[in-house]
Amino acid sequence: MKVKRYIGNTNQEVMQKIKEELGPEAVIVSNRKLRKKGIKGLFQKPVVEVVAAIDDAAYTDKSSLDTRDIKRLENIEYQMQYMGSMLKSLINGAEGAEVDKKYITYYQNMLDNEVDKDVAKSVIKRAEELYNRDKIGIYESVYNSILYFIGRPKPINVYPGQQKIVLFVGPTGVGKTTTIAKLAAILSIEQHKNVGLVTTDTYRIGAVDQLNLYGEILGIKVEVVCSPNDILQALRNNRDKDVVLIDTAGRGLNDSKHQQELKETIGTAKVDEIHLVISGNVSYKNCLDTIDSYSFLPSYKLIFTKLDDMTRYGIILNCCFTAGQPLSYITTGQNVPDDIQLAYPEEIAKHLLERP
Ligand SMILES: Nc1nc2c(ncn2[C@@H]2O[C@H](COP(=O)(O)OP(=O)(O)OP(=O)(O)O)[C@@H](O)[C@H]2O)c(=O)[nH]1
Ligand SMILES: [Mg+2]
């Protein structure tokens, strides 16, 4: 770390000097106006004093350094990060104090990645247990703790001779129909399964056409169901299929008629698994409301859509933690069928422990 004091008549003049000498990576440590000491100074224009600093690594080619130097620089970097985390947690109030010092950087990184404070504290609590029990490193303990709370992803597994009926639910516009189209394509084209498509969404104008369009491309006839009672006929028409994907209408969260219809559909259709689709680019509060309003479901898997529209992944951990349900897929764009993949907890955990 190189620290230097610069004096000049104006801010601009001093900044120019710093830029020339230390380069654009320099950080300003302090900036103040000074008067010369003594009575004479009172009558003179104040001068500007700026203290600037630059990390050695910022202007030294790392490849020319030996390993010991690199280790030293990395250590300084870690210590600065640690100090930054300590400062932030002090600013945030007493919360940081409840977290063991050795975890403070990871705790702060989780918060910066929009992990909820209570969730982050639970992660750290379990990490400490794992650290003591399994004699593993600090990073490994907190990483494993996140994996524990996210759980193993559960994709749609289709076995020969066992038809699977899968229902997709979720708020309006989260990407249910698009996700079903992606999954139908993957299951039929890549996994050579015989796929059936059913929609109960007769509320929204164009909803049936939307699924029909994908159905036509894949050569799958879409069965349209107008009431929960009609679903049995739709399923009879699909009895030769390995897997049947049922699309539903996105409705207001507190729509009790919608909830009742869903319950009837689940019961009548003898649904094998339900996937709750949540858009990743909304607030955690919004997700909590969604999870709450679907708490009447017996159990489900979580699909996160629109990850291409989000920068922080904390919401995924928050939702898994709160819902206590496993992930299945994540989607990363509008392209059918490319923008979908099995959820990857390891990548999510890694992201959450890095500085955003
Ligand atoms: N950026 C982005 N957009 C997506 C993704 N998935 C779906 N969308 C878009 O989100 C919009 C709504 O998608 P739909 O599949 O119609 O959503 P839905 O949940 O079926 O909507 P309703 O049936 O009206 O409740 C469309 O413009 C999709 O292209 C995704 O992963 N990323
Ligand atoms: Mg839809």
- What local confidence, expressed as pLDDT, does residue 95 receive? 53
Q: Give the architecture-level CATH label for domain 164-344.
A: 3-Layer(aba) Sandwich (3.40)
DSSP 164: E
Q: Is the dihedral of CA 63, 69, 75, 79 positive or negative?
A: negative
Sequence-ordered alpha helix ranges (H) in the chain: 11-22, 39-42, 56-59, 67-91, 104-112, 117-134, 138-150, 176-185, 207-218, 231-237, 256-269, 284-293, 314-323, 345-352
Please report the atom of ligand 1 found closest to the CA of residue 251: 25
Please report the atom of ligand 1 found closest to the CA of residue 180: 15
**How many whole angstroms from 178 Cα to the centroid of ligand 1?**
6
Nearest to 180 by CA among 164, 163, 161, 167: 167
| Domain ranges for the chain | 2-59, 66-150, 164-344
**How many whole angstroms from 305 Cα to the centroid of ligand 1?**
8
Helix (H) or strand (E) holding 171: none
**How many whole angstroms from 269 Cα to the centroid of ligand 1?**
25
Ligand nearest to the CA of 171: 1
**How many whole angstroms from 113 Cα to the centroid of ligand 2?**
30
**How many whole angstroms from 227 Cα to the centroid of ligand 1?**
24
**How many whole angstroms from 249 Cα to the centroid of ligand 2?**
6
**Residue-wise pLDDT tens for the chain (356 aa)?**
777 888 988 888 898 888 888 888 888 877 887 765 544 444 456 788 888 888 776 655 444 456 667 667 767 776 777 777 667 666 665 455 578 989 999 999 999 999 999 999 999 999 999 999 999 999 999 999 999 999 999 999 999 999 999 999 999 999 999 999 999 999 999 999 999 999 998 877 788 888 999 999 999 999 999 877 799 999 999 999 999 999 998 877 677 888 888 999 999 999 999 999 999 999 999 999 999 999 999 899 999 999 998 888 999 999 999 999 999 999 999 999 999 999 999 999 999 999 98
Which residues line ligand 1 at a C-beta cut-off of 6 Å? 170, 172-178, 201, 204, 207, 249-250, 305-306, 308-309, 331-334, 339
In angstroms, rounded to a whole number, what is the distance separating the alpha carbons of residues 62 and 107?
A: 29
Please report the atom of ligand 1 found closest to the CA of residue 340: 31
Look at ligand 1, atom 7, and give the residue with the nearest C-alpha. 175
DSSP 295: T
- What local confidence, expressed as pLDDT, does residue 256 receive? 84
Return the best residue to mutate from 169, 178, 198 for the ligand 1 pocket (most ligand atoms within 8 A of CB).
178
- What local confidence, expressed as pLDDT, does residue 61 receive? 44
- Rg over alpha carbons for the chain, rounded to the nearest Å, is 28
In angstroms, rounded to a whole number, what is the distance separating the alpha carbons of residues 138 and 31?
A: 38
Of the chain, the end-to-end C-alpha distance in Å amounts to 23
Please report the atom of ligand 1 found closest to the CA of residue 207: 23
Please report the atom of ligand 1 found closest to the CA of residue 174: 19
Residue partners of 69: CB distance under 8 A and separation at least 6: none
Look at ligand 1, atom 26, and give the residue with the nearest C-alpha. 175
- What local confidence, expressed as pLDDT, does residue 55 receive? 78
Inter-CA distances, 236 with 196, 207, 212, 230, Å: 11, 22, 19, 10
Extract the tokens encoding 193.
Answer: 């399964």
φ, ψ of residue 168 to 5 degrees: the values are -115, 125
**How many whole angstroms from 317 Cα to the centroid of ligand 1?**
22
Q: Are 272 and 164 in contact (CB under 8 A)?
A: yes
Looking at residue 48, its amino acid is V
